[in-house]
Structure 1
Amino acid sequence: MAIIDPATGRPLQESDASFQRVLFVTNGVHVYGIPPITSTKGFNASSWTSPTQPTAQEIFTARVRIVETTIDSRVKVDIALEDGSTGDLFAAAPYTSAAVVQQASDSSRFFAVRVQGEGGMKATLGIGFEDRGPAFDFSVALREAGKILGMNDSSAAQSGRSSQANSKAEGESKQDFSLKEGEKIHIQVGQKGRRAPSPQTAGTSDSSALFSIAPPPDAGKGSEAFPSIAPPPSSKDTQKSAQELGFDDGEFGEFQ
């Protein structure tokens, strides 16, 4: 039996190492034509099915399959939206990255799927599951497909590199420079240049520096350094006789 390409609905070239595996299948999935995304928060499914002013229009009810196809050493995964009665292909989304399917920001049952036509034209459709069970299984199958295609390994490697860089930066910033028990620091002073003074010379120079200012003179030597001023004469010394002052009493004693 020929292997049908889920992305085109046409037979693939067979080889001895070709096989297909269905990762997920369910019926009764509602398909919507949704407006372009307008917010960085993601797609808002409540506006798609608003009872008063819906922004999306339901255009199809599909059977959804996630199919892994291996031809020789090449592996691919496709999400096929098919007619549940006839199996005819309605639209397909090659699962080449996790961005192909985005879960709605306000519901676990709605997803935005980027489908691609044969000419390479792309469009984003909304799909809605009636129950949370199939929606959960759909998410699990996508994670399994990511493992098969190595998407999780590349993401893990990238996150591992970033975590190693962060750990290295934290380790450098938190590096401990304190001495551990038993560790010592050895400092070797260079012998070049001026010779260090001997302890005796150093002690002498230090004492000389402390007493570089001459101390005040002793009390006994004060008269030699600073001659004292003689006190004023007493009143007894001023009462000298006229003869001592060079006067004569005269013949008749007129100076008595």
Structure 2
Amino acid sequence: MATEGQFEYESVLCVKPEVNVYRIPPRASNRAIRAADWKLDAPDWTGRMRVTARGKVVYVKLEDKISGELFAQAPVDEYPGIAVETVSDSSRYFVLRIQDDNGRSAFIGIGFGDRGDAFDFNVALQDHFKWVKQEDEFTKQAQAPDSTPKLDLGFKEGQTITLNIGQSKKKDRSRPQSSGGLGLLPPPPGGKLAPPPSSRSTNHNTQPLAGGSDTGCLLDLDSSNSNSVAPSDPTSTSSSDLWGDFDSISPK
């Protein structure tokens, strides 16, 4: 990360206390690199590895175990890449391209005695360059102009909008409500209502036919089946017009 004075901080990604360095034979064409071709039982140098990052570049530094003096370093700008390569026959060995201050470079072999150290070295490189890739994508998105069409939701000059609120409820209230799906019947012509059926059934019950004929029995059976028949009232048999009796009595 760059500061205002264009200086960059150096962060430590990984430190391994022991790593072996090997001189490797020249590479023959594009044949895969094998660690078995090295003199694995006699390493040419043994020291400490320190992996640091400055900006987007990783530096693999080989240092003396006691004094910390730098033996060689390899700048790595991508992984996998030519700066750090794996071998085909083992996960503990790698090919490293080292460079000096004059820009001269050479390829050496490095190896770890423990597979866990080799795994940590591999993961440290992968995580750093994964972060570099994400940073590059964010930078491109920030610099690229937004070409997607924008939706204009504003009103144009002179444009109006009409809102219909509550009209559906008023329409529902104007309709007559009927219980059970039956509407009200209109009144009869002339404004006169028919007499209730209870009075008719009462007259049939209070005036049986004389002679005890079979017809009277049938009328009694018919009246017993009616649900609206009320018990007979002896006062109702005197006259169908009660108001006529009061008119016939003259005051003394």
TM-score, length of structure 1 as denominator length? 0.47
TM-score norm. by structure 2 comes to 0.48
With CA pairs under 8 Å and 6+ residues apart, which has the higher RCO, 1 or 2? 1
